Amino acid sequence: MARIIIVSNRLPITLDRKDGGLIYHPSAGGLATGLSSLDESLDKIWLGWPGHYLDPGYEREYVEHQFEKDGLSPIFLSPHEVRFFYEGFSNNTIWPLFHYFPEFIEYNESYWKVYQEVNQKFADRICELIQEDDIVWVHDYQLMLVPGMVRKAKPQATIGFFLHIPFPSYEIFRTLPWREEILRGILGADLVGFHTFGYMRHFLSSVYRLTGKDQNFGKVTMDSNRTVNVDVFPMGINYEKYAIGAPSDEPSAEVQFIQDYGKRRKIVLSIDRLDYSKGIPQRIEAFGKFLEKNSKYHGEVTLILVVVPSRSNVGQYIKLKDRIDKAVGRINGRFGTFNWIPVRYYYRSFPFESLSAMYKSSFIAMITPVRDGMNLVAKEFVASRDDSKTGVLILSEMAGAAEELFEALLINPNNTNDMVEALETAIEMPPEEQAKRLSDMQLRLKEYGIKKWASNFIDLLMETKTFQHDRRTKLLSEESLDLLTQSYKKASKRLLLLDYDGTLVNFQNEPSEAKPDQALYDDLDKLIKQKGTKVVIISGRDKHTLGEWFGGRGIELVSEHGVWWWKNGGWKLNERVSDDWKSEIRPILENLVARTPGSFIEEKDFTLAWHYRRIDKELGAKRVREIRDGLIYLTANHNLQVLEGNKVVEIRNAGVNKGKSAAAWVHKREWDFMLAIGDDHTDEDTFKAMPADAYTIKVGLARTHARFKVLGTEDARGLIAKLANL
């Protein structure tokens, strides 16, 4: 039976020492809480760091044995690894970079080296555990290299990756010295998940700009033509847990105090981990301005500020805590009375029963991070109001949760006045409006809880693997290759129709750089010398370039998709075509080049092509949209076609295509072996023109009319070389 191997930096159980012995307690954080509530019927192994260093020997063996009973597999890290991998690269480099705090980033080569080593340690453990049909699900920014490392060792593995923090814009991400290594590590997964479409868009933009890998509807084709699916999965919560709350038969003194306090005053609740991304000082300042502006609420409204300790030994966090302490002191000192404390500040974590009481007793939740991947606290508050249908959520538009909870009062966390106005609106909001807003959000959260989030991810991961398999079903197998070569050997009259760019050579930013190499010349020369073999290159290239590269070598040539044919040592016009239209179309393309630096026009005898391979893809697509309708209108009067190719727009005479050229060669004589190879949509016309028993081969895994596929140019060249040496 297939298993799910969950891989995260921390296990859901944290190991610690107390009175000389080992103790265990649940790990804090949304990931541990969320994945712990997965369907218990699933066969799971959870791999991660237990949170404490143990010397090799008896204690490690004992912990491994104890954890194994609960499906946990601990990865033990040394203090040096924790310092450089976790505190260093993960939290002093990636965390501030991805949360848009460049002033806190440390680019340290030693951090990066240990980050690689620890990621490899995780990957090695996965490879030790993995069995056929297992699913590997890797989580978060601490382990971004792991998918690629596992893929390298286990090429057929099923791997998912989910990033729980924001992915930054390309302009921010590009500053990371190890940016391509990070991207290629993530792209080792079959499915990559993000909380919001914005994060997904930033990731795909960086992938394209830094690796050159394009995407189509969120699917990225890799070097080996393995397809990586990138999608959005907003993480949910265990709705029922927070809607019901903790058992209240015998509430603790703390819970009782919270409940009683909520009856006497309107509570504004703020719960965050200590972090500069959470916007805590700005929130306190806004509450102070609210009190300054609204004296009528003095004694009636209290901010309960819960700050959970985090990285308390790091300088930035020490300064942040000091800033929070002083801000709270200023407000309480200025506005507080003997029977009213404006800000009740708690620098500690609370048990679930106390948190649940705070959620249910508060009137307003004020969740205003400067940047946050999702923020489950906002969702937990909304779920906790399931019975009462009263209360208001004030939420930062910079939190991922804002993409779902748009009935909340959304604010800019950098705008103090915006937050003050939101507090005023929340306090005065009519009960019926509170109920409407909460009901809409609650319905959404019920529908997409934590279990559905996880099951949707796993289901799409399996669909992605099926999609990959289906796309590979046409791959030229060893058996099919043997049949092809045997047919080739037996044949006495052979026809080989070959595309050039993307088939015999890889694409280049500058078309003139895609010259044939000596190995290609040698293989083509061998084919031509084989008795009864006719080699035809059918290309979109202009006749001058094609003639310069291949003219006089005994190869039949067709340029501009069939406009020109090479005959008797020279070019002959094959179609009744005209170039009178160029003077009308060229100025449009020239204006496009002037407005789009990096693009250029390629002019052939009967074709104009606008190339935008070297510019930003989104800008190129925008320009294409700008001119498409106008070009179609103009070309309709000249019997022309507008073709959108791989980062190129071509205008050419209608009725000219590779299929007609291929058909002319097919009908020249009775061939007993025919082969056609090509990589793009223009070659589909060739494939459709070939007889059913011909060997038609698509270079790449896109949909095709060809009978077979090969992964890339290297495989196509390998086939040509094999036939040349028979």
3-state secondary structure of 393: strand
Beta-carbon contacts of 461 under 8 Å, excluding residues fewer than 6 positions away, are: 135, 137, 158, 160, 190, 191
Residue 191 host element (H or E): strand 191-194
Q: Are 638 and 672 in contact (CB under 8 A)?
A: no
Structure tokens that stand for 348 in this block: 């500690």
List CB contacts of 458: < 8 A, sequence separation 6 or more: 4, 135, 137, 160
Nearest to 494 by CA among 698, 692, 669, 705: 669
Query: Pairing mode, if any, of strands 227-232 and 191-194?
Result: parallel
Catalytic residue among 231, 499, 542, 680: 499
Please state, in angstroms and rounded to a whole number, the distance separating the CA atoms of residues 340 and 329: 14
Q: Is 499 one of the annotated active-site residues of the chain?
A: yes
Structure tokens at 31: 């990931």
For residues 123 and 153, is the Cβ–Cβ distance under 8 A? yes
Q: How far apart are CA 284 and CA 415, in angstroms?
A: 13
* DSSP strand pairing (215-216 vs 219-221): antiparallel
Token pair of 698 as six digits: 């698509």
Q: C-alpha angle 457/460/462, rounded to 5°?
A: 110
Give the count of alpha carbons within 13 A of 87, CB side only. 17
Exposed/middle/buried for residue 475 (C-beta within 10 Å: 0-12, 13-18, 19+): middle
- 3-state SS, residue 97: helix
Pairing outcome for strands 44-49 and 13-18: unpaired
Vertex 80: Cα angle to 127 and 55 (nearest 5): 70
The letter for the amino acid at 649 is V
> CA 186, CA 411: separation in Å to the nearest integer?
32
What's at 613, amino acid-wise?
Answer: R
Pick from 375, 298, 393, 726: nearest CA to 532: 726
Furthest-apart CA atoms within the chain: distance in Å: 106
> On the CB side of 19, how many CA atoms lie within 13 Å of its CA?
1
Q: Are 419 and 283 in contact (CB under 8 A)?
A: yes
Burial zone of 723 (CB within 10 Å; 0-12 exposed, 13-18 middle, 19+ buried): buried
- Asked whether the beta carbons of 159 and 134 are under 8 A apart, the reply is no
Q: Quick count: other Cβ atoms within 10 Å of Cβ 192?
A: 27
Q: How far apart are CA 573 and CA 564, in angstroms?
A: 5
**Alpha carbon distance 609, 600 (integer Å):** 8
- The DSSP letter of residue 189 is S
Rounded distance, CA 499 to CA 536, Å? 9
Residue 95 CB-density burial (10 A; 0-12 exposed, 13-18 middle, 19+ buried) = buried
* Kind and range of the H or E run holding 312: none
Our measurement of the distance from residue 258's CA atom to the centroid of its chain's CA atoms, rounded to an integer in Å, reads 42
Nearest of 336, 348, 324, 340 to residue 254 by alpha carbon: 348
Q: What is the DSSP letter of 136?
A: E
By the 8 A CB rule, do 723 and 695 touch? Answer: no
Cα–Cα distance for residue pair 641/653, rounded to 1 Å: 6
The DSSP bridge pattern shows strands 570-573 and 564-567 to be antiparallel
Which positions are annotated as active-site residues? 499
